[in-house]
Every structure is written in C-alpha cells, then in structure tokens.
Chain A
C-alpha cells in the first residue's frame, strides 16, 4: 500500500519511452545503391512527419556475370552513380502511415576506350506508400504491411528505370530489447514488387538490420544490415549498354546481396544523421560495387 508515490511511475514511463527512440534509427537509409530503400517495421506516431533527405554514391568497376562470376568491366569500365533522394513519412493515425520517396539519379559509365563518359540523369520512380500497423507481441515486436505504388517520372530512358508503373507489398517485423547490456533493435522485412509493362519485372527485396545504441542518451547508434534484390523478367536478355546492365536499378534480370553498416548520431531528439557504407557480396547480371551514403532524419510532431 505504498502505491503511487512519486518516482517509480515517472521512471517507468521514461524507460518505456526509450524503446521508441529507436524509430530515429530504423528509418535509416539502406544504401542499396543506387536505389534507396527505407526500413519499415515500427509504427509511426500519429501526426508525426519524418523527413529524410539523403545522398548516396555507388561505384562499381566490376560486374557479376550471368553465372555470378565477378569480373572487371571490359576496357577498365567504371560505373558511378550519385543518387539524391527525399523520403518522408507521415503518421496518419495509430495504424496508418503514408510515405513518399522522390529519387534523383546521376549515372556515369566510363572506359579507357571512350573519350567521354556515358552519362544520364533525372528523376526516377516516385514511390507512394501506405503502411498499416498489423499487430505486436507484448509491445516489443511489431508487424506491419506496406503497399507502395511506383510512378515513373520519365519516358523512354532505360538508364533511369523501367519506365513502368509498379506496385510493391512489403511485410516487416521489428523489435527492440536489451542485448549485451545495451538497447538494441532489429528489423526484418521482405517485399515483392511487380512492374507492369510489356516486359514486366518481378522483384523480391529483403533486408535484415540489427542495431544498438552506444550510449545511455541514445545519441550514438550502430547498425549492420544484409539485404538484397532478386529480379526477373519475361525478357531475360541482358542489356548490352553497361550504364543499364551495371545498374541494379535498371537491369531486369539480376540479383545481388549486400552487407552494410551504419552509424547514426542524434544532434537533437528530432534531428539525426546516418552514415552508411555497404558492399555487394554476391550478385548476378549486375555491377559489383560498393556504396556510401548520408542521410538526415528530421522528426516533426504536428499534434
């Protein structure tokens, strides 16, 4: 009958709140170069905007062939891609979250045999998503499903994308807890994506992320990820244009797996910076490259 004095409740509520600080981290950019991907899983607070501009750089001077052998591009070929993206989420309600991704890409391919690099640039596919918070287990593990519509912003430019409308369905599972005396979280997700067109493309995208905080104030975080794409199309031909075939964003029959590590620093409780580096570990019909990226993550509560 000592109930309801002072400190305990406050302490408890604060502790529980900490679990959700990870949301800062789990919206981090996955540098699946040159296409950005964003981890889902945890629900988003109603009325909250998450704004995340990012830049990533992908470089490949090797490629995986159709038998997954890694070899150099002909004539010392080099593929570079710089990608700018703006990603945003908005918590519509406790259950629904709206998201939008607007990517802009600049791609270069150069060899020793050509005097001027092949370059392309432009807006890519805009993605509009609606996430639904399905369920949780003891408020520690969360399940969500997300439907995304893909809208091409260009015409007849195979170096920017397929030019098809598409849709994606993603299932995500995320959780948080203690490990090795530190707060940690994980996100596991898989998405199936279909581009609709004369040469429709089916993709499966997966990602597994594990992260932990380095300090008690939740300012420093580290995470590691493994993820990959698998894409198949009715047209199994490989485009001979290297700026297309080297680019995982534009190939139609390809696969890769990538590992990445990310460091996050929170400047304030609403503003964080994430630096990510990743490299392909296996692949088929795509460039064999590495990427680095930086993303800002800003939260704005409107309610």
Chain B
C-alpha cells in the first residue's frame, strides 16, 4: 500500500516541476477512452450532477458514452453504489445500444439515501469496450457527525504535553545558507530544541528588503507524511516562509529515523510516547520560534499543509492560539475509529505494527489514537480555517473529512473537489492565497 503511495509521490513530484500538475480540473472529468485504434474508440464521462458532489436528498449523475466505431456497441451500463465501507447500497444494470459513430447519455437519480457519502462504480460492458469509472457523492454532508466521542481528558492530555515542551529550552539557532539565497530572498536553516530535547530543523526564507525594521507575515508550512521540506523561495516579497521538518522527517531525523511505513506507528502503543505527540509539539515550538523573531509578524501566522501537514495544521491551531489562520488540505487521522474498514492506510500499517508487539491490541492503539484524532482537535480551533477535501481521497474518506469540518466551531469554509483524491486543485491554492492576503491586509 505504502509502496503504491511512494510511486504516487514520485509521480507527482516529477510532475510538479510543471505548473499544470496543480492546475487540475475538478470538473468536468476528462473522458476515458478505449485503448487501441486512435480513430475508433468508446469514451465515457461520469459526472455527479452537483458542483461539489453533495446533495440534500436525491443524488443524480449522468454517464455519457461516445462511440466512434463504425459499428454499433451493444451491452450494458451498470452502477454499483456502496457506502464508504464497501457495503452494497444499490445496483442497477440496463441494456444499451449505442449506434455507430454516435453518443448516448444515461441519467440516473437515487432517492432516499441516508446521510453520508457513497462510492459509485459505473460500469460499461459493450461490444468493444469494458470499463469501470469510480466517483463518490454525499447526502446532507453538513449533518455528518462522528459516532465516537472525544476523550474527557483530551484537553488535559495536551495541556500536559505543552507543559513538558515548555520545560525544554528552545535554543533557537538561525544560520544563513548563502548558497541557497536567491536574488530576492535569503535562506536560513533554523534549528530548535523540542519535546524530549530533540533537535528540530526547518527552513526560513525572507524577502530581501532595505527596511531593516520590516516585519513579515508568516506562512508556516507543515510537512506531509515523510516528506523532506526544502526552503521555499520565489518572487513574493511580503511573506516569510517557514517550512518545518518535524521529528523523523527531512533534516530532523537525528534520533527518530524510522522506515517510511513504520513512522505512523512509532510508539503508538503508549499515547504519552507516540511519535505524533512530539511532532505536534514540534509545530508548537515552531510558533515559539516565530515569536522569538522580531522580523516576523506575530499577529499574522498562517499554518498550512496537506495530508499529514493538514492534520498538523489543525492540531496546531487547536493547541496554539497564536496561529492566526489555518489552512488544512486532506487532513489524515480524521475520525480515526471510522477509518477502520474504509481505508487501507494507515490502518494496515498500524495493524502490522500491533501484530509485532505482543500484549498490544488494536483496540488499545485506537483508543490512544483518540487523543490524536483530527476531529477532536477541530473542536478546539478558534481561528478562521479553510479545509480542502477530495471525494475520492483514499486516506481521508469524505465522511471523515466532514466529521472534522462539522466539529469546527469557528469561522470555517470547506472546498470540496468531487473528482480529486488526496489532493486539492489550483482553485484551492488560489483561494487560500487570496484569503490569507486579505486577512493579513497584504493588498
């Protein structure tokens, strides 16, 4: 599973050299085409008939089939709808005939579905073409609530963690890396001591400015799972950009340096020693760092990230009120109990870890994870927050994402991308930037 992820990372990393990778369309979906002859094909487009793929009552979708063969295509068009755990909800199969060089549209409406998200598999099996297209849709997503309560001592647990962090002298260190400076930005390696006295590193880039008293708004970028963050440079002359490599990642792997798959489970059997406790405190320490710098604005801090970075952004905003605004894309570990049966990762890796630890049970670990559940952090967020979700996300099922969103009791906005998986589109990034600039008055 994680190997598959790795391939995905490599692919996206490679593609990210080109701007287009982040300008993915959220609608309409690019047609799927049968392989083989270029001049003759069957192509299909499955469209959920709502911009965000969420309905109040009746779900509807259309399936467009285009036949460029010189022969009629005969067979069936079928759908198979399941809930997020794969339990069958509804199926339908209808015979179809698509004339030579013609197109057909098949429209479907599904009434009386319960609140939640559903997976839709649309199959076509005709003379010269077989294919399945997968989409998802939701019903009354704003009513989705987690079925699992927040631990009564959740706040006390994190208060204790912050108290432990406070005992560690930060010993901030800032070293200019002249070799990475650009014509308009200076690049600094930043180091600090965090929980358990681990050294945490990251990068800070600051626009060159003749005003020595200039204070910059701060973008604090938090890392995805096992991603090594590098300095971010560019043409922006308003933002200081800090990219943090939390423990066990990037250039902060002195003590914790697990195999990639093992990181998520590191010490998970003990909630007081679980790696994420330190990781989250590393983020708090990064805010301490921001507050220690006079060239940084302490009242304008955006915490942002995707995947694990989105998770950390929400956790940080919940635990540290010094964060001004928060942007979280596809946050992992959302409604953790409800991940079981819905996703392979991280459940599979956690089970594998538990299997190798005599005396540790999966249930015990999942209980520990309640203290690390995104939706439990969400209830404590008070700053404005932007959340991005993909309905086809294999690690953050949309119902889990909405359990987080609906737990937020603050100024909030969710952007849903019905045709995307574990990612958001350029539209999100544009909105995020404009929102941040407006909030910080960077007109």
Contacts and interface: CB of A to CB of B under 8 A. Distances in A.
A7 B229 CA distance: 11
A139 B437 CA distance: 9
A4 B434 contact: no
Interface string A44-63: 11100000000000000000
A13 interface: yes
Contact of A3 (B19, B231, B329): B329
Contacts of A14: 234-236
B234 A46 contact: no
A5 B13 contact: yes
A76 interface: no
Contact of B429 (A8, A43, A138): A8
Contact of A139 (B5, B304, B438): B438
A9 interface: yes
Measured as residues with beta carbon below 8 angstroms from the partner, the interface class of chain A is 20 to 34
B224 A17 contact: no
Q: Which of B235, B305, B309 has the most CB of A within 10 A?
A: B235
Nearest to A97: B443
Q: Which of A11, A140, A303 has the most CB of B within 10 A?
A: A11
Given A9-B219, A13-B236, A45-B443, A3 B433 contact: no
Contact of B16 (A5, A45, A46, A140): A5
B51 to A, nearest CB: 14
B422 A1 contact: yes
Contacts of A94: 441
A10 B224 contact: no
Contacts, number: 131
B434 A10 contact: no
B223 A2 contact: no
B8 A2 contact: yes
B45 interface: no
B227 interface: yes
B224 A3 contact: yes
A290 to B, nearest CB: 34
Interface string A75-97: 00000000000000001011000
Given A3-B227, A3-B305, A8 B395 contact: no
A1 B17 CA distance: 17
Nearest to B185: A10
Contact of B426 (A10, A12, A91, A138): A12
A6 B229 CA distance: 7
B233 interface: yes
A2 B443 contact: no
24 contacts: A1-B224, A1-B332, A1-B395, A3-B227, A3-B310, A4-B224, A4-B229, A4-B309, A5-B13, A5-B227, A6-B229, A7-B234, A8-B22, A9-B221, A11-B19, A17-B433, A17-B442, A20-B437, A20-B442, A42-B443, A45-B443, A93-B441, A138-B434, A303-B214
Ordered nearest first, which 4 A-B pairs have the shortest CB separation? A3-B306, A16-B433, A10-B234, A3-B224
Interface of B: 5, 8-9, 12-13, 16-17, 19, 22, 211, 214-215, 219, 221-225, 227, 229-236, 238-239, 241, 243, 304-310, 329-330, 332, 395, 422-423, 426, 429-438, 441-443
Given A4-B229, A8-B16, A139-B437, 11 more contacts: A1-B224, A1-B306, A2-B9, A2-B224, A3-B223, A6-B232, A11-B19, A13-B433, A17-B433, A19-B434, A44-B443
